[in-house]
């Protein structure tokens, strides 16, 4: 698991590009946001690289966040908020940034309507309720990420999280991921390790 702190004093576009390059390897890529923003929103072509990374991207948001840091945080695969987190979807009466709109659309109609029609901030509780964030984690608690996962399981989880397929196409993707995981032998090793009370060797 790799962890990087977002620096709100540095150029947002350069940081986003560096993060996308760093996230080319399978595994977890955690980006911690203590605070950040008050800059120009990122163009979509910059944020899009982050959404297509090979790693499972995770945002750990602890403070008030606005663009451009917010663009990267909300476009992560998993978004965990600390209780004091506050999301400034639009710093002014302007519309949210491209990345923020994409993340709101991914969360659903209610989130998109809230972001486009209301200019007030989004609290941690509201963000989770709307599906913009994955969950709220106590200030001093570690993120609820598994310590050891196989490459196959991380890859399957990443693909399923990012999939927009519904209906029969969605079921087909789920079945293909299920078959992939069983073909690797990971479930057998996981069950054996559990029964033997040891860490699995994937």
**Distance between CA atoms of 10 and 163, rounded to whole angstroms?**
32
Percent of the chain at pLDDT exceeding 70: 80
Task: Please tell me whether residue 30 adopts helix, strand or coil conformation.
Answer: strand
Between 151 and 79, the higher pLDDT residue: 79
Q: How far is CA 33 from CA 61, 67, 80, 90, in A?
A: 5, 12, 10, 17
- Residue ranges of domains in the chain: 2-136, 151-195
pLDDT tens by residue, 1-19: 789 999 988 888 999 999 9
Q: What is the pTM of this model?
A: 0.78
CA distance 100 to 73: 9
- Lowest-pLDDT choice from 12-16, 70-74, 192-196: 192-196
Q: 99 or 192, which is more confident?
A: 99
Q: Has residue 138 got a pLDDT over 90?
A: yes
What is the model's pLDDT at position 194? Answer: 77
Q: Show the CA angle centred on residue 178, arms to residues 20 and 184, nearest 5°.
A: 80
Is the model's pLDDT at 28 over the cut of 60?
Answer: yes
Percent of the chain topping pLDDT 90: 40
- For domain 2-136, the question of CATH label 3.20.130.10 is answered with no
Average pLDDT, rounded, for the chain: 83
pLDDT score of 41: 87
Nearest alpha-carbon partner for 139 in 87, 80, 66 = 80
pLDDT value for 59: 95
Q: Is the pLDDT of residue 43 over 80?
A: yes
Higher-confidence residue of 165 and 99: namely 99
Q: CA-CA distance, 15 to 44, in Å (whole number)? A: 14
pLDDT at 27: 81
Confidence of residue 120 (pLDDT cuts 50, 70, 90): confident
Q: How confident is the model at residue 61 (pLDDT cuts 50, 70, 90)?
A: very high
pLDDT, tens digit (0-9, with 9 covering 90-100), for 150-187? 666 667 777 767 666 567 766 776 777 667 666 667 77
Q: Is the pLDDT of residue 98 over 60?
A: yes
């Amino acid at each position: 698991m790799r962890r990087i702190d977002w620096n709100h004093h540095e150029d947002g576009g350069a940081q986003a590009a560096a993060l996308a390059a760093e996230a080319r390897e399978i595994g977890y890529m955690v980006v911690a946001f203590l605070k950040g923003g008050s800059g120009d929103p990122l163009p979509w072509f910059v944020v899009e690289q982050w959404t297509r990374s090979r790693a499972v991207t995770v945002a750990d948001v602890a403070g008030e966040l606005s663009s451009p840091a917010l663009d990267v945080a909300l476009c992560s695969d998993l978004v965990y908020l600390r209780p004091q987190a506050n999301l400034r979807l639009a710093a002014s009466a302007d519309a949210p940034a491209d990345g923020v709109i994409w993340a709101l659309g991914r969360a659903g109609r209610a989130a998109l309507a809230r972001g486009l029609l209301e200019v007030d901030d989004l609290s941690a509780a509201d963000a989770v309720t709307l599906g913009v964030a994955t969950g709220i984690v106590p200030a001093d608690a570690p993120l609820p990420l598994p310590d050891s996962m196989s490459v196959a399981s991380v890859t399957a989880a990443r693909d399923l999280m990012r999939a927009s397929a519904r209906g029969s196409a969605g079921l087909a993707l789920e079945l293909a991921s299920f078959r992939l995981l069983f073909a690797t032998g990971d479930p057998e090793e996981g069950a054996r390790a559990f029964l033997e009370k040891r860490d699995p060797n994937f």
